[in-house]
Chain A
Amino acid sequence: MPTAIKPHRRRSQPVGMTYQFLPEVKKYTTKMAASGETMLKKPHVGKKRKPPTRYWEGTEENGKNDGKKQKEGDNNKQTPQQNKKRTKEGGKRGGAGEKILSGKSDPFPGSAPVPEEKLKKFKRGEKGELPPRPQYKLRDVVVRSEAASDLAQKQNARYDLMLPEDAGFLEGDEDEDTCTISQDDIADAVDITAGAKYFNLTLSQFGPYRLDYSKTGRHLLLGGRRGHVTCLDWQSKQLMCEMNVMETVNDVKWLHSEALFAVAQKKWLYIYDNKGIELHCIRKFNDVLRMQFLPYHFLLATASATGFLQYLDVSVGKEVVAICTKAGRLDVMAHNPHNAIIHLGHSNGTVTLWTPNQREPLVKMLCHQGGVRSVAVDKTGTYMVTSGMDKKLKVYDIRSYRPLQSYFLPAGASCLSLSQRGLLSAATGDIVQVYRDVWGTPVTKPYMAHRAKGSVWGVHFCPFEDVLGVGHGEGFTSMVVPGAGEPNFDGLDANPYRSAKQRQEWEVKALLEKIQPELIGLDPSQLSQVDHSTWEQRHEDRVQALGFDPLAKEKFTPRLKTKGRSSSGKVEKRKKQVAHEDQRDVIRQTVEDRMKIDKERKEKEKKEAAAAGQKSALDRFRK
């Protein structure tokens, strides 16, 4: 069963694993990711990724494109002419008008061309028409902004060549499924550091484990059902803390950094630091079953057994909102990383989408005929994968809410997780399966499969690593899944190699850039749109927000007067007086308005009459 693992991953830094094969294992062949290497056809995925383009290829491609265009036109003879034109243009761009004495003249005048595809990638919205010339101020503003956005787009496209890494996957030989390759084989085949990422933690005592990786992917948090909570730096296997909370643990979650984590225990929600010291016990959050952390909003969203969806602002420690979903026990939860919307799965087969700003679900989707068992959302916010009691696995496009694929899994998936690169892991019983490209081509076989020692309780892909963490009845398993993680990390956002100082700095910056919960919505770009609502609508909103109408007239309450002047008759009289007064005001106002209108009309008539008064000689013939 010779296999070829094809690791198409190269990192500028030694992140994670690079699959270098030991010389004695001859049945494996390496095909390292070279720049120009043509990819093999993959058995599972129809899509063929192009090899990463280098900057020297970019221009060539351009040239090719030009050639194609010419062929489309008429003759191949035009090539030199076209070239000349291009060079001329280039000269213009570079400002060939001013001659440079010092130094050599530039053999390639002008800026280097940027490939179209990349420009497309960084395109932000459509260009509009320029306003007419007389409105020169508006025109100036528009022109300037267009130029700026053009520049930004071009520069971004130009700098994009820094990240040419591509994902590589396991590839089987003839008549061999990749899903039959065991983890041990992979661990044997790959180099030591990568092989060390496959490991098992035997923790059979405290029952099935939930897990969570920190945002940078360095730290692992494990929570056993029977109270065992531990966090560790999983790559160096350094234990940060370990404790037993002596209570049922429903879920565990890292907060914004690896310094804090939340544990949903039997009754309340607790927050610990990485030494295991209990910092908070939040009594407002009871019976929490599942938690999600929204990193850019510093919000911890919890779903409870009582049907409440609550948001906790971690930066200030206040509850933002508590929403009664009226949908029973909430034990299925996911969040959309694109727009920070919480997805809840319900026992009636529906999945609901929530923001902290609305008391009712934004969208309610009927996904399964049985209850929903698990939900996962793609990193780009495009796809949602659900699995239900009807043993089906469904893929939805959550921009249009349309089903894309539906699969029947023999035992149904209990836990789902999507990796940064779009691999889907589904746990059925004690088996963890990983699928590739579930939304594109219909999948009939898993990409990888692994049998855990106990029934699986939680799966989670590690960010920026080719690792899938599986929490099960007998402890924890870290699986190697080639092609799962994103090879390019943003050093200012989630840097796996950051130092303590960098972390502190990042924390401050992240807090400064915190997004307010009011900005959560289905469309994250809504903020850049003009509010089209009418004045009435806005007033209504204001009234609702304030709880009273600030423009409403105060109701007259007659003053209490002594000496029999506050008798009911008198009071009534006074009231009427005031009412009359008000009415008179209104009448006066209307009369004035009417008079004004009349006056205007009369003036207009007068003018017309005056205009008519200038009789011409021909007016006598007019009838």
Chain B
Amino acid sequence: MCVKWTTVVPCCVFCLIQGGSDDERKHCKLLEAIKHCAPMTPSALIKTKKQLKNLQHNQSTLETPLTRKETERIQREVAFEKTSKEVSRWQSVVLQNQKAEQLVFPLNQEPSGPKRIEQVVAGWKAQTPLEQEIFSLLRMNKQPLHDPVLTPTEEASLRAMSLEEAKIRRAELQKARVLQSYYEAKAKRERKIKSKKYHRVQKKVMRKEYLKQFDEMVKTDPAAALEELKKMELSRMKERMSLKHQNSGKWAKSKAIMAKYDDGARKAMQKQLEVNKDLTLKLVIPADEDEEDEEESAETLPDFVNDAEHILDQVNPWMRGKLSTDPMVQEESNRLDPPVVRPRELGTPGEGRDDQEEDEEQMEETEEEALLRGFEERRKLQISDDNEEAVEISDDEEAVEISDDEAGLSKFTSLFHGLVNNHMEPPADQPKAGPGVGQGESPALLEEGLVRVRTLEDVELLSQDVSASDPAPLTTTQTPGTEETDTQSATQQADKKRKRKKMIDPNEVLTKEAKVIKMPLAPTAVEDVEGKEEQRVIIKEAFAGDDVISDFLKDKRKQEEAGRPKVIDLTLPGWGEWGGLGLQPSRSKRKRFRVKVAPPPPRQDQKLPNIIISEKRDSSIAAHQVCQLPFPFENPTQFERTIRSPVGRTWNTQNTVQKITAPKVVTQLGAIIEPIAREYLIKDNRQAVTGPSINLESDQGPQKKRRSQQKKKHKRKKN
């Protein structure tokens, strides 16, 4: 500011000089202006002055620059920090690679071979406007883009239906289809029937049924009844217009001829006329109108009648039921109005009619019944007997749930199996019972098991055995029950004794009771009794000298002694006391200098009286064993567990061996393996993809994967 000011002043001065005298006035003005300025400037002036002074006072020199060494160190430090930061970004990748089961080089290899469609499709994007339009349309309508078969809603619905439901539904559909086919077949068959009488009867029956229903309908549903009535009215009108029931047809004419002689024909004609009368008579009261037209009935009634069809699907429970009793179908039939034709039902008239008529009716009904029965029988003849039986069975179990039915079926099969078994068992069982007491007891003997040891055996077991063998070989086997208590008490006693003596009783060794085996063929060599006796004597003599058991026990004791560590006696006679011939070192001294050794671990054969197990260490195998645990393991059991299952082809399937022994690093032959690139790191951070891990099919597999993925996520967060 000060500089500025100074520059201004000479300028003014210069102006003054240039202006000369004529510009006196201007000069004065300027001075005034300066004077005007003066009260404003002093603070700035002071400030600048101060600054100048400060500059003058500040005499200290600049610091010398850092030495090269120091600057370099600082630079290094900074550089280290920077690079370590950069390098540490690789850490997770390195760790992953270290942990990976298998590494495949070169990196970023695309798997060879054909790709699956979805892989190809997933990468593809709609590019052209047309494609985009199509896709947007599809998306708007929630149509499947990738999976061409099902929409999400369809899939959801599919998923919503469980297997059971689906089964039930299918069974229903199946049943409906079958029913339809039955009805069709039946209708076809009935249409083909030429018998007029049959049709007449049928019609009559239907009519009756219909009336009955109509009565009911009047009570329950008057509106529907009214409609029915209207229909009837319509039919009546039609009848009136036509010439039906006027005895003008072919049949009526023939009847008319016959009517002279035949009572029945006459009656029929009369009836026909009556019908005509009824039909043509217009009546207001609906109750009186009880007959209806055939045509009308033909319209309303389906031309088939409910009846069970005998083709049966054993497996499908829905197919077992009779049609008539199925509630759903019944409803349907009610709607369609086809009454069930049953002779029994026909026999129960419930109409308000004249007695005469009723009588007539009944007469006719019996006729009808007979006719219908005849038809039914004829039909039944066509059907095989087996199916009929099946129907009977299924009749009982209709309208039951699938599972129950299946259970029943399995029960039945099991029953059947049981029967079969019963049939087959006797030949297998009887020989068991045949041989006698000894065998009968065998299961009991089995239960006794291993530990049955007889303690008090005679000294000469051998001779006894021989004697036992010839007269009654079964005696030894027959007395387990009675002997047992004795033997138990005896064993207890023996136990006590053992505790006292801590020695093995020779009688306890070799005491397993022998079962005598019956032989079908006697060996030729040892047949005669005398020979046996002789041999017994010979054996006795032969074994008189050597007591096998006591020898063995001696041997065992010796071994035990040898195995026991010896007490070391370090007493030196004569030290610290008098020594000499006949002088024993004192007891206290002996006690003091005797080195006692810790007792050895219990012998393996401690509880097996007739066994000697060598306690020597077999060192030969030690050379092949692992004696130092490899790195990550901490105790032998961990290591032993990891090597517990064999790896070789002898014990495993080919596939397993390949998976288990997959190499840690796989390289492609001839491919250049380049160092990992920075892009990989970025990609890794984005996707966390490493080499393909060998997926051992196991329960832990997916969990592990998930866990590792989680880890990766964590790392990403940290980074």
Contact = CB atoms under 8 A, between A and B. Distances in A.
B554 to A, nearest CB: 11
Nearest to A101: B118
Contacts of B497: none
B597 interface: no
A180 B525 CA distance: 20
A173 B428 CA distance: 7
A359 B195 CA distance: 108
Interface string A142-164: 11111111111111100100000
Given A111-B697, A407-B515, A446-B520, A149 B645 contact: yes
Contact of A357 (B461, B476, B526, B620): B620
Interface in A123-178: 124-128, 131, 135-138, 140-156, 159, 171-177
B632 A141 contact: yes
A397 B552 CA distance: 20
Interface in B277-296: none
Contacts of A302: none
A72 to B, nearest CB: 17
A366 B645 CA distance: 36
B604 to A, nearest CB: 9
Contacts of A497: none
Contacts of B660: 148, 151-152
8 contacts: A101-B117, A102-B117, A128-B637, A358-B618, A394-B512, A403-B512, A429-B525, A444-B438
B612 A363 contact: yes
Contacts of B704: 143, 147
A348 B546 contact: yes
Given A92-B702, A137-B632, A429-B524, A444 B434 contact: no
Contacts of A530: 625-627, 629, 636, 639-640
Interface stretch (B81-89, B363-371, B443-451): B443-451
Nearest to B468: A408
A595 B512 CA distance: 69
Contacts of A144: 101, 696
A408 B698 contact: no
Contacts of A492: 650
B613 A83 contact: no
A247 interface: no
B417 A38 contact: yes
Interface string B605-647: 1001011111011111111111101011110111111111110
A138 B633 CA distance: 6
A80 B638 contact: no
B700 A531 contact: no
Contact of B428 (A40, A99, A405): A40
A541 to B, nearest CB: 4
Given A143-B700, A366-B611, A431 B521 contact: yes
B613 A152 contact: no
Interface stretch (B196-204, B243-251, B564-572, B651-659): B651-659
A355 B509 contact: no
Given A365-B610, A446-B520, 13 more contacts: A152-B656, A155-B653, A171-B428, A180-B520, A367-B510, A370-B543, A401-B611, A402-B450, A408-B473, A410-B519, A444-B438, A445-B439, A530-B636
Contacts of B327: none
Interface residues of B, number: 118
Interface string B666-708: 0000000000000000000000000000001111111010000
A417 interface: no
Interface stretch (B39-47, B132-140, B315-323, B419-427): B419-427
Contacts of B20: none
A362 B611 CA distance: 10
A527 B636 contact: no
Contacts of A408: 465, 468-469, 473, 476, 514-517
Interface string A403-415: 1111111110000
Contacts of B431: 43, 172-177
B260 interface: no
Interface string B387-418: 00000000000000001000000000000010
B164 interface: yes
A41 B425 contact: yes
B517 A445 contact: yes
Contacts of B640: 125, 528-530
Interface of A: 4, 38, 40-43, 46, 79-80, 83-84, 87, 92-93, 95, 99-102, 111, 124-128, 131, 135-138, 140-156, 159, 171-177, 179-180, 348-350, 355, 357-358, 360-370, 389-394, 397, 401-411, 428-431, 433, 440-446, 449, 451, 455, 492, 516, 518-519, 521, 526-533, 537-538, 541, 544-545
B543 to A, nearest CB: 6
B522 interface: yes
Given A128-B641, A348-B551, A151 B617 contact: no
Contacts of A147: 696, 698, 700-701, 704
A405 B446 CA distance: 10
B185 interface: no
Given A363-B611, A369-B462, A531 B519 contact: no
Interface in B511-556: 512-526, 539, 543, 546, 548-549, 551-552, 555
A439 B675 CA distance: 67
A148 B645 contact: yes
B612 to A, nearest CB: 4
B163 interface: yes
B26 to A, nearest CB: 86
B99 A100 contact: no
Interface of B: 99, 101, 116-118, 121, 146-147, 162-164, 403, 417, 420-421, 424-432, 434-435, 438-439, 442-443, 445-446, 450, 461-462, 465-466, 468-469, 473, 476-477, 509-510, 512-526, 539, 543, 546, 548-549, 551-552, 555, 605, 608, 610-614, 616-627, 629, 631-634, 636-646, 650-653, 655-656, 659-660, 696-702, 704
A428 B608 CA distance: 30
Nearest to A370: B543
B689 to A, nearest CB: 16
A579 B592 CA distance: 32
A479 B118 CA distance: 66
A236 to B, nearest CB: 30
A440 B696 CA distance: 41
A101 B147 contact: yes
Contacts of A348: 546, 548, 551-552
Contacts of B651: 152, 156
Contacts of A407: 514-517
A55 B136 CA distance: 49
Given A131-B638, A180-B520, A401-B611, A175 B469 contact: no
A92 B624 CA distance: 44
Contacts of A368: 510, 548
A138 B549 contact: no
A41 B429 contact: yes
A455 B525 contact: yes
A526 B700 contact: no
A406 B514 contact: yes
A-B pairs with the 9 shortest C-beta distances? A429-B523, A149-B645, A125-B644, A101-B118, A530-B636, A138-B632, A145-B642, A357-B620, A406-B512
A538 B625 CA distance: 12
Interface centre among B147, B620, B646, B650 (most CB of A within 10 A): B620
Contact of A369 (B517, B543, B613): B543
Contacts of A433: 519
A403 B163 contact: no
A444 B632 contact: no
B639 A428 contact: no
Nearest to B516: A408
B163 A155 contact: no
A532 B146 CA distance: 62
Q: Which of B425, B523, B624, B626 has the most CB of A within 10 A?
A: B523
A361 B517 CA distance: 33
